[in-house]
């Protein structure tokens, strides 16, 4: 009898490689490995071959870079998503996409379960579990690393006993995750939040001190809040992201040191490198500042915060995210134009912006000749606008301290 199948999110690392024979031996399942290309710099053919060498009955590789950029990163950018004000949720955004691929393959293969390599302490387990069950509530989710009690040394021994190739060179104390929207680093010395991250944790960005002495400029073209060109050349969004990661990285842009509040209640210290995300979020905000009225910007900020929390918490496939997307989408119809960003020694600064929908009217803003603002109207406006403040001040302090002889407040 052929065993039932499980579809495993496979990275090629030690945990997910060990999971292949473990799922066979402990759960009696044949493993179909799925590796999704979200822009991580790994050799996917080698990963596929390693899945088979580790005992998978089949191994799929999907190039999802455009899908990731267009369907996950772009909505997050339109919402200027930064969890706790600093983290562009790069890892968190890729999980629902990978979950969707797992479910697709599970359906095609007639699998009974999906599996992932996350431990029981992190956010990613929450995101994988919620996004797969959110799409396919009938599929079981198995997280081998949540069940087994192996430490790294045990895993290496288990791998060797099962003929899985273990790369001896992989002695890095850090745990990393990479995709188009950013690179995350945790563990090792970073677990002491009082200590500055050593230079060796960075993989995408030069130290600002070693960045070029001449600044670089990037001109980003937006349509409806989504980047469509770089330096006047139209390009697919995922290519714009990749190009800005390279350019920003060269100039030391996008390093983030975050004392982060995990979904599972743990505080953790995370270092991120997100050059493109840093540049694009600043540029997008700058364009919004030009074309959106103050009340829309103000209300949108509260939506953005909620959006960030929801993505971080693994609730991508949820009615709330769809409703927030509808709101954000309605704010983006005029977010068209170009933004110039200057990259220099670790900083990315917006230095210019233009839009056909600009609300900036030089006739109103100027202090020079050509001023069209009707200054004489200001005094009347301030009289009405300030009436509550004047009434409050005139009535005075706590009632107990007032005497009946107090003169009547002069209100007008």
The contact set with ligand ARG (CB under 6 A) reads: 91-92, 123-124, 175, 177, 184, 260, 270
Q: Which of 48, 95, 127, 269 is catalytic?
A: 95
Nearer to ligand ARG, 91 or 332 (CB): 91
Question: Exposed (0-12), middle (13-18) or buried (19+): which is 375, by Cβ within 10 Å?
Answer: exposed
266 vs 100: CA distance, rounded Å? 27
- Least spacing, CB of residue 258 vs ligand ARG, in Å: 8
Q: Which of 30, 90, 100, 124 is catalytic?
A: 124
- Least spacing, CB of residue 175 vs ligand ARG, in Å: 5
- Least spacing, CB of residue 105 vs ligand ARG, in Å: 21
Nearer to ligand ARG, 187 or 228 (CB): 187
Tokens of 20: 């292949």
Full 3-state SS string of 170-232:
CCCCCEEEEECCEEEEECHHHHCCCCCCCHHHCCCCCCHHHCCCCCEEEEEEEECCEEEEECC
95 is catalytic: yes
Number of H helices, E strands in the chain: 15, 14
- Least spacing, CB of residue 75 vs ligand ARG, in Å: 17
Nearer to ligand ARG, 264 or 409 (CB): 264
Nearer to ligand ARG, 124 or 336 (CB): 124
Q: Which of 15, 30, 177, 336 is catalytic?
A: 15
Nearest to 59 by CA among 23, 7, 104: 7
164 vs 53: CA distance, rounded Å? 7
Task: Name residues whose C-beta falls within 8 Å of residue 117's C-beta, 6 or more positions apart in sequence.
Answer: 8, 9, 10, 11, 13, 15, 16, 19, 143, 144, 145
Question: Exposed (0-12), middle (13-18) or buried (19+): which is 305, by Cβ within 10 Å?
Answer: middle
187 vs 271: CA distance, rounded Å? 10
Nearer to ligand ARG, 15 or 30 (CB): 15
Nearer to ligand ARG, 143 or 287 (CB): 143
- Least spacing, CB of residue 216 vs ligand ARG, in Å: 28
102 vs 115: CA distance, rounded Å? 9
- Least spacing, CB of residue 201 vs ligand ARG, in Å: 13
76 vs 308: CA distance, rounded Å? 8
- Least spacing, CB of residue 288 vs ligand ARG, in Å: 25
Nearer to ligand ARG, 158 or 181 (CB): 181
Nearest to 130 by CA among 149, 156, 102, 152: 102
Nearer to ligand ARG, 307 or 344 (CB): 307
Burial call 377-386: b when 16+ CB within 10 Å, e when fewer: eeeeeeeeee
15 is catalytic: yes
- Least spacing, CB of residue 234 vs ligand ARG, in Å: 31
Q: How far is CA 201 from CA 197, 236, 261, in A?
A: 7, 30, 21
Q: How far is CA 299 from CA 109, 170, 330, in A?
A: 45, 47, 13
Q: Which of 70, 104, 146, 175 is catalytic?
A: 175
Instruction: Note whether 114 and 103 are within 8 A (CB).
Output: yes
175 is catalytic: yes
Burial call 100-136: b when 16+ CB within 10 Å, e when fewer: bbbbbbbeebebbbbbbbbeeebbbbbbbbbbbbbbb
State the catalytic residues.
15, 95, 124, 175
């Amino acid at each position: 009898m052929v065993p039932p199948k499980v579809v495993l999110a496979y990275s090629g690392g030690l945990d997910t490689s060990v999971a292949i024979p473990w799922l066979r031996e402990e759960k009696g399942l044949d493993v179909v490995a799925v590796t999704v290309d979200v822009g991580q710099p790994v050799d996917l053919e080698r990963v596929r071959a390693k899945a088979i060498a580790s005992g998978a009955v089949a191994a799929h590789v999907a190039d999802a870079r455009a899908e990731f950029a267009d369907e996950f990163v772009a909505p997050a950018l339109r919402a200027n998503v930064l969890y706790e004000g600093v983290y562009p949720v790069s890892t968190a955004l890729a999980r629902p996409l990978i979950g969707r691929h797992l479910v697709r393959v599970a359906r095609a293969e007639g699998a009974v379960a999906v599996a992932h390599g996350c431990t029981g302490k992190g956010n990613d387990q929450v995101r994988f579990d919620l996004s797969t069950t959110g799409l396919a509530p009938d599929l079981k989710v198995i997280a081998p690393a949540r069940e087994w009690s192996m430490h790294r040394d045990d895993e290496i021994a288990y791998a060797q006993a099962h003929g899985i190739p273990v790369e001896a060179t992989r002695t890095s104390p850090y745990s990393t995750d990479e995709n188009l929207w950013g690179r995350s680093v945790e563990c090792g010395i970073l677990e002491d939040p009082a200590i500055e991250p050593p230079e060796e944790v960075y993989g995408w960005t030069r130290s600002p001190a070693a960045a070029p002495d001449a600044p670089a400029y990037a001109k980003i073209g937006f349509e409806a809040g989504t980047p469509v060109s770089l330096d006047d050349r139209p390009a697919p969004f995922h290519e714009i992201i990749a190009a800005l990661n390279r350019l920003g990285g060269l100039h030391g842009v996008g390093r983030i040191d975050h004392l982060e509040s995990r979904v599972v209640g743990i505080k953790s210290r995370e270092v991120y490198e997100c050059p493109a995300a840093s540049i694009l979020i600043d540029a997008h905000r700058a364009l919004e500042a030009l074309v959106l009225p103050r009340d829309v910007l103000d209300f949108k900020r509260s939506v953005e915060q909620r959006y960030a929390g929801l993505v971080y918490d693994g609730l991508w496939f949820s009615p709330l995210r769809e409703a927030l997307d509808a709101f954000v989408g309605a704010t983006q119809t005029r977010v068209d134009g170009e933004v110039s960003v200057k990259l220099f020694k670790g900083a990315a600064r917006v230095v210019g912006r233009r839009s056909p929908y600009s609300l900036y009217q030089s006739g109103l803003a100027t202090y020079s000749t050509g001023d069209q603002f009707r200054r004489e109207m200001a005094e009347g406006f301030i009289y009405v606008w300030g009436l509550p403040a004047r009434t409050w001040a005139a009535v005075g302090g706590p009632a107990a301290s007032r005497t009946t002889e107090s003169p009547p407040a002069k209100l007008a």
